[in-house]
Amino acid sequence: MTIEVVDLSFSYGTHNVLKNISFSADYGDFLSILGPNGVGKSTLFRCMLGLLTPNKGDTFIDDRAVSSLNAKDLAKIIAYIPQSHNPVFNFSVFDMVLMGTTAQLGQYSSPGKKERRQVEEALSRIGISHLKERGYRNISGGERQLVLIARAIAQQAKILIMDEPSSSLDFGNKIRVMQTVKALTNDGYMVIQSTHDPDQSFLYSDMVLALYKGEVLAWGKPQEIINDSLISKLYGVDVEVCSLQEDSLRICIPARDKWIHE
C-alpha cells in the first residue's frame, strides 16, 4: 500500500495554511513531518484523514482518493493517534483498545470473541497486557500512548498517523513509545508522525518532510536534509548539527558562540 499527497493546499478563510504539499510513503516506512508549532502539521493530517476538505489537491491511498472514501472505509485503512486523549469516563484499558475494533463491525453489531481476541493480541504485542484492567485515566502519559497504539493495531489499519506522539512524555517514556512505533514498521506498518524534534526525526525516520510557512522546505532521507541551515531556518535559532557514531546519529545543539562565553 502507498499513500501519496499531491499538490495539497488548504486555507482558513484568506489565511493560507498549506501550499502545494506533495510527498509519498510506502508500507514499512517511518516518515516524520518536521516543523515548528503552527506550521500546519495538524491541518495536513486532518486533510489526509478526510476531516478537512483541501482547496486543491488530494490524498491517495493505493490510487484511491481520500475524498471518495467514507469514514468507515478510511477507518479500515488509517488509524489516528493523537497527542493526548482524556475521555470523560474512565474506561478500562481493555475497553479502550476494544473500541478500535468497531471499524470492522456492522451498524448493529457489537464486539465478540474475535474482536476480544484481537485486543488481547494487540495488548500483548505492545507489552501492556498487565494494564488491561486498569482505568485509562489512572495510568501514565507514556502508558496512555501505548494504549492508543494498541487500539490502532486492534483496528487492523496498516497506516498509523501520529500527531506529536512523544511531545508530552518524559525521557524514558519517549524512548519506549518511539521504539515501539519504529518496531511496527518492521512488520509492514506505515507510520507518519508529526514532530518538532529534529534529533528524533534523524534517529527513527526513513524519510523527513520539513514544513516551513505552509510549504515543503525539504524532503528526503534524514542524512541528506537535516543540517545546520535547515534547522536554523525552521526554528529561527543558530544551531550546530553534530554527527556521532560515524554519522549513525545526529544531534542539534545551540551554536557555540551563543552559549560559550569567549
Close Cβ partners of 108 (under 8 Å, ≥ 6 residues apart): none
d(CA 177, CA 126): 10
On the 0-12 / 13-18 / 19+ scale of CB atoms within 10 A, 88 is exposed
Cell numbers placing 5: 499527497
Whose cell is 534529533? That residue is: 199
Q: Give this prediction's pTM.
A: 0.88
DSSP H or E run through 74: helix 71-75
pLDDT at 97: 93
Domains (ranges, CATH) in the chain?
A: 2-226 (3.40.50.300)
Look at 106 and 182; give whichever has higher pLDDT.
182
pLDDT at 1: 64
pLDDT higher than threshold 70 for residue 108: no
Per-residue pLDDT band at 119 (split at 50, 70, 90): very high
Asked whether 219 and 25 are in contact (CB, 8 A), the reply is: no
**Which range in 17-21, 63-67, 75-79, 224-228 is most confidently predicted, on average pLDDT?**
17-21
Q: Name the residue among 67, 29, 64 with its Cα closest to residue 49.
A: 67
Q: How far is CA 126 from CA 85, 97, 146, 190, in A?
A: 18, 12, 7, 16
In sequence order, what E strands does the chain have? 2-12, 15-26, 30-34, 56-61, 64-65, 78-81, 159-163, 190-195, 207-212, 215-220, 239-244, 249-254
pLDDT at 262: 45
d(CA 137, CA 207): 34
pLDDT higher than threshold 80 for residue 176: yes
Q: How far is CA 128 from CA 94, 118, 149, 168, in A?
A: 10, 14, 11, 20
pLDDT at 75: 87
Residue type, 260: I
Please compute the mean of the pLDDT values over residues 221-248 and round it to a whole number.
87
d(CA 92, CA 138): 9
Q: What percent of the chain has pLDDT over 70?
A: 94
Give a three-class secondary structure readout of 223-248.
HHHCCHHHHHHHHCCCEEEEEECCCC
Please compute the mean of the pLDDT values over residues 65-76 and round it to a whole number.
89
